Amino acid sequence: MTIVAFAEKNKAAEEIANILGKGNYKRTSIEGIAVYRFTRNGKEWAISGLAGHIMGYDFPAEYNSWTGVSPGALLDISPIKMVTKENFAFAIEKLAKEAEMIILACDYDREGENIGFEAKELAERVAKVPIKRARYSTFSQNEIENAFDNPGEPDAALAMAAETRQILDLKMGAAFTRYVTLSVREKAFTKEILSIGPCQTPTCGFVYEREKLIREFQPKDFWKITADFDAGGNVFTGTHRAGNISEKSKADEIMARIKGEKTATVNKKDVREQSLAPPVPLNTTEFLKRASSFLNISPEKSLEIAEQLYLSGLTSYPRTETNKYADDFDYKTILADLAKNPDYTKTVSQIVTAEGGIKAKNGPKDAKDHPPIHPIRGANKQTVESMVKLPGAYVVYDLICRHFLANLMPSAIFEKTKLEMKIKEDLFDAAGSIKKFAGWLEIYDFETKNDKFLPNIDEGDTTGVKKILNTASKTAPPKKLTEAELLTLMDKNGIGTKATAPAHIETNKKRGYFEAKGKTLSILNTGYMLMESLDASVPILIQPKIRAQIEELIQQVEDGKISMEEAVATGTELIKQMYADLTENKDRLVTKLSGSIKTEAAEEDKKNYIGVCPVCQNALRIVTTDNGRFVGCVGYPDCSETYPLPKAGAITVLRTKNCPKGGAAVLDVGKKYEWAVGIGPCFSCDQNITCNPPEVVGACPRCKEGEMQLIEYKDGRFLKCTLQCGHTQSLPDKGRMTILDQKCEICGWNLFRVKEQGKDAAEFCANRRCKAIGMRKKAEAE
């Protein structure tokens, strides 16, 4: 008989086999699934790695049709649990048949416990043997041996908490996505699936809310008065005590009082030391925020790298809510190993020789799950990159190491100086900061604190005033949300967990709802359109309130306070409340959303997109039918705004031109004349000479005082004297005509170029009298 163990991943299974088998293990396989076999203490062992979840929930097959089943009906259906990876199920059952004991060794968190319970459920179908649980946070030899020598009992409450989330997420996601998508398709043709998710949607809602503030922001004027003071050649700047002044008259009044003053007095001086404590130990959320801010690596990628560092035995388990070390934490062993890396040697020496011994600056939370994220082994860049084949592996490892070391270092000390300067009776403030002791900042170079020096002057001293400035500025809009800020908002509002938050962010990116640009997030058209429509009709869907309540239910299951069935029932009622709001506001949602979809489609159709409808703010576009063409609103039939168009001539929208009379757009018709949508032909408008200043080609050959200007109209073009002397000249009707900068050598008129289709371009002087002069000169020469 064999002791059988199941780890969450193949790499974890092999690492455990290597540790327990003292490096002497054999790789076999069942249905292509790796099984590592070895002998330990006279017993045969077999350990296999799973590939995440091998079972999952779905609705019965008869509910798979989007059109044949009411979306709301899904909320009253109990999903069924089924095997999703048959080869793993077969391997589990085969191994269970030879087992005398089974040890579940998946990651110790909700999902890991649930994956282990899936293996347990399959194993119990074919074998009645003891099933135990090995819990560990690192792949250190001592911890792995202790976990498998002293296994505990599986945690059913923890596993069922994950299952509760799966069921509720499936119900809400399926019902809401189907309902919104199908409702919108009734009014707007779209192949897009408008995905609504219990965590995904509030996550996108945070990005939308920030973008909405930015778009609606109205800048306000303010004035700031600053003065440059000169203390023996040391120049420093102070800001007027009034700060940002919203009224120009007040700023002008202050300037009038002190303008031209050349001296100032040090009215007050305050000098004090200020300490900056090191960061507390890393939990998952803080790690993801810092990796995003300091390394510009996305949360999902950071967690993936941290997972591989953990599986390689370089760092501890990366999913933890704890930010304090246990009293018996073994700092010395880790520090001794880190000292092998020259980048950390000096800092390790300072820590281990510090007076009072090694002291961590712990945070407040011990979640009883895993220790804070910390290094296990010291390794250089080459070693890390050989073990973890992911871009960014070493910089993430380095961040974890430096954070661990910084936490054990003393506080940084700064000398903060504040000067209150006085010009006549007006006060100015200047501040300086000098780093007196680097402390933890010496190793933690991700946070830079630059010195700002002030001269050594005392109260009562006099300084010169080099200049006084009154600077006009405008208030700035809020900055775009960073991924670090988004993680903070999700954590604060209970959206997702430490393990799932990165996945919710990534889901929104994959859906095309928002994207990362550097460290900030920019919402995309589809995301803004969906969030704006939900905000206007069913705002509770994008708010975190209901999701936070569901997360609390899941936590109660984990804590053993309620059963999974109770949580699912209560959670389903909360979801039904939101669904009722959704159906009640269907018309408002669909009108807004379908209009946005039509507008987006119209905007993408560059050729026919005209602009914004003045009635409903949807898009205007060129509509062509069997009976002709016109400009219509995509909001039809709710909005019937239309404008006529000329019957003939190719139309091009002149994007750079605006109609002074409020036309929706200016069009070029057949390269012959312009047309303002909603107004008519530009050549008949009294504003045409302002919009299209006449193109002149030269002096009028009749009156000699006027200039000949080009006149273009629907059916042709000609030249006409600007002084109305009556002189006109015809021009070719066909072809595209351009007035050149080149001058006629005989009369000085600008030359014309005409290009007809299928013919070479012809350049000529249109002055008829110039031609006559040219012919006479030629005859005289002969």
- 623 plus 685 within the same structural domain: yes
Does residue 600 fall inside a structural domain?
Answer: no
- 210 plus 231 within the same structural domain: no
Does residue 170 fall inside a structural domain?
Answer: no
Judged on CB neighbours under 10 Å (0-12, 13-18, 19+), 123 is buried
Strands 131-133 and 99-105: parallel
Last residue of a domain, one of 664, 689, 714: 689
Distance of CA 443 to the CA centre of its chain: 30
pTM for this structure? Answer: 0.72
Q: How far apart are CA 708 and CA 731, in angstroms?
A: 12
pLDDT at 775 (0 to 100): 45
pLDDT at 777 (0 to 100): 44
Element (H, E) at 402: helix 393-407
Does residue 167 fall inside a structural domain?
Answer: no
**Which CATH number belongs to the domain containing residue 441 in this structure?**
2.70.20.10
Strands 234-240 and 462-474: unpaired
Strands 750-755 and 762-764: antiparallel
- 80 plus 62 within the same structural domain: yes
Distance of CA 765 to the CA centre of its chain: 60
Domain count, the chain: 6
- 8 plus 103 within the same structural domain: yes
- 544 plus 419 within the same structural domain: no
Is 288:351 a contact under the CB 8 Å cutoff? no
Does residue 439 fall inside a structural domain?
Answer: yes
pLDDT at 779 (0 to 100): 42
pLDDT at 770 (0 to 100): 80
Does residue 171 fall inside a structural domain?
Answer: no
- 135 plus 42 within the same structural domain: yes
Instruction: Residue 423: name the closest of 475, 380, 464 by CA.
Output: 464
- 310 plus 399 within the same structural domain: yes
pLDDT at 771 (0 to 100): 64
Mean pLDDT by 10 residues, the chain (782 residues): 94 95 95 95 95 92 89 93 95 96 94 95 95 94 94 96 94 91 74 81 94 93 96 94 96 94 95 94 93 92 94 93 91 93 94 90 87 94 94 96 96 95 95 93 88 92 95 94 91 82 90 88 88 87 87 93 96 92 85 62 63 81 84 80 87 84 86 84 80 83 86 78 81 85 87 86 85 46 46
- 205 plus 296 within the same structural domain: no
Q: What is the DSSP string of 586-641?
A: HHHHHHHHHHHHHHHHHHH-TTTEEEE-TTTS-EEEEEEETTEEEEEETTTTT---
- 8 plus 144 within the same structural domain: yes
What phi and psi, each to the nearest 5 degrees, are found at residue 104?
-85, 125
Write out the residue range of the structural domain in which residue 635 sits: 605-689
- 715 plus 659 within the same structural domain: no
Does residue 12 fall inside a structural domain?
Answer: yes
Q: How far apart are CA 354 and CA 483, in angstroms?
A: 37
Instruction: Residue 209: name the closest of 477, 476, 481 by CA.
Output: 481
**Which CATH number belongs to the domain containing residue 70 in this structure?**
3.40.50.140
Does residue 181 fall inside a structural domain?
Answer: no
| CA 716 vs CA 2, 710, 732: distances in Å | 97, 11, 8
- How large is the C-alpha radius of gyration of the chain? 38
Is 746:773 a contact under the CB 8 Å cutoff? yes
Judged on CB neighbours under 10 Å (0-12, 13-18, 19+), 715 is exposed
**Which CATH number belongs to the domain containing residue 199 in this structure?**
1.10.460.10
- 299 plus 398 within the same structural domain: yes
Is 455:234 a contact under the CB 8 Å cutoff? yes
Does residue 162 fall inside a structural domain?
Answer: no
- 402 plus 432 within the same structural domain: no
Q: How far apart are CA 285 and CA 497, in angstroms?
A: 9
